[in-house]
Amino acid sequence: MSITEELLDRITGYLNKNGITAKDRIQIGFSGGPDSTVLFFLLKQLQNEFHYSLQALYVDHGIRSEEIIKKEIEGAEDIASTIGCPLVVEHIPPGEIENNARAEGRSIEDLAREYRYRIFRNQMEISGMNYTALGHNLDDNVETLIMRVFQGAGIEGLKGIPSRRDGFLRPLLPVERFLIEECAEENGLKPLLDETNNELLYLRNRIRKELLPLVAGIFPGYRRSIVNLGRKMEAASEYIDLGMKDRITGITADGALNVPVHEFETLLPFERMKLLYESWDIWDAKPFEKLSYRTIESLLYKKDLPSGRILLSGGAYVLEQRGGMIWWNRLVVLFKKSYLRVVSPGVVSIPGNLRLEVIPHGGIPVKSDVWLENGRINGPVVIRSRKPGDFIDLSGGRKKIKKLYSEWKIPEGDRWQIPVVCDRNGIIAILGEPFGYRNRVASVHRVQKSKAADNILILRAYME
């Protein structure tokens, strides 16, 4: 049996299992790369058997140069013409994703994915498609799972990429990348080569090119083991959901926890955690914004919840107890001789006539600016007063903020005004410049200001 015949058999089984029939209309998320090209080809081969409608959709993210995009779209059109299927092309305005990523303190990679899926859904509505087929393969799933392990994901995250969810189909998910590439060669297909797949700016590329070769050297069979981990987590998730079915009543559309406070207090820590995460996904306006475990950890073990606002670790969000229910809310608070603000584009006012300007790159750099690379930030970014025990990891080693302020000879009563910039991973920088001291930036966040600034966020603090 040829590789093509083997993959056709696999996809036939997948389509039958998922009930695909002649009434279905499928669009393919088509980049022109090996995975989506082979999926495109195989689904076209099976069209006469299943009689579904088929079209391909190419998304220009507006990130690369006009010359490269033009060449890639021409290549995608040639492949679609060879396969014999219509191709729809959607454009995102040049620079929009990069500008928004800088402004929101997010990675270009994550935001591009959000834009892409939004376009998939919109085009499904416009064209009357009820499914989008994507070319994710076994290697993609392994990379995703390994990334989530190091990011501290829970059971839901460790399930990996779903083979089907919310109208998205992934027929090639169990197939290894080398088989897909051999299938392309076997059929004379000529996929496009994406140069960004070699750029180490993107996290997934770094995992693929730097981390996985090291893992393979120690654990040669890691791919199958990691996939099995995902299957075990999927089974565990189903079991837990079944057990919690009668334990938790649900969540309202606006993100309220649909459980009385006294019942919430009887839940086990894991049950509380699951409820908080699920309500967050409904309430938060940005589905790709993460709720860290550290933010909610203290709430998991409280025997009695306080009334009113419940301040969570990390400082960007609160839970509010109203009428015996619990609600999410964003946090902007000011305490006596203490403050906390969530950093957002524009100018942030800080007590004591201090201002923090958040600047997308493009203005004239000032020597006192703090440059941060979006890809290294685990947002949201918060600016606040010092807290007991705070420290910053500098190139010369770890330093307590209290000791740093002592060296600067800042009076004890004025130290609360010095801005501390942090994300979910810890302290990013101390902004001393407005007070006559040098800014201190954590070593992992130091950026050479001569560096190309496509992925840079600039913080500028000054006295008004």
Range name among 66-80, 256-270, 398-412 with the lowest pLDDT average: 256-270
CA gyration radius for the chain? 25
46 close to 5: Cβ distance less than 8 angstroms: no
Q: What is the pLDDT of residue 318?
A: 62
Q: What is the pLDDT of residue 288?
A: 43
Q: Beta partners for 342? A: 382
* Encoded tokens for 175: 């197939």
* Encoded tokens for 235: 């089974």
Q: From 33, 36, 113, 42, select the one nearest 75 (Cα to Cα).
A: 33
Rounded mean pLDDT, 452-462 = 72
Residues 97-138 have pLDDT tens digits of 888 777 666 788 888 998 999 999 989 988 899 999 999 999
Q: Determine the Cα–Cα distance for residues 34 and 7; give it in Å rounded to an integer.
A: 14
Rounded mean pLDDT, 205-228 = 93
Residues 9-37 have pLDDT tens digits of 999 999 999 999 999 999 999 999 999 99
Q: From 375, 373, 402, select the one nearest 389 (Cα to Cα).
A: 402
Neighbours of 388 (CB within 10 A): 7
Q: What is the pLDDT of residue 310?
A: 64
Q: What is the dihedral of CA 316, 143, 77, 72, to 10 degrees?
A: 70
* Encoded tokens for 390: 């705070």
Letter for the amino acid at 285? A
What does pLDDT average to over the chain? 83
Q: What is the pLDDT of residue 344?
A: 67
| Contacts (Cβ under 8 Å, ≥6 apart) of 93 | 62
Predicted confidence band of residue 218 (pLDDT cuts 50, 70, 90): very high
Q: Determine the Cα–Cα distance for residues 136 and 116; give it in Å rounded to an integer.
A: 14
Residue 335 has pLDDT above 50, yes or no: no
Residue linked to tokens 């180490």: 200
Q: Determine the Cα–Cα distance for residues 237 and 227; give it in Å rounded to an integer.
A: 15
Q: What is the pLDDT of residue 334?
A: 46
Q: Determine the Cα–Cα distance for residues 160 and 197; give it in Å rounded to an integer.
A: 21
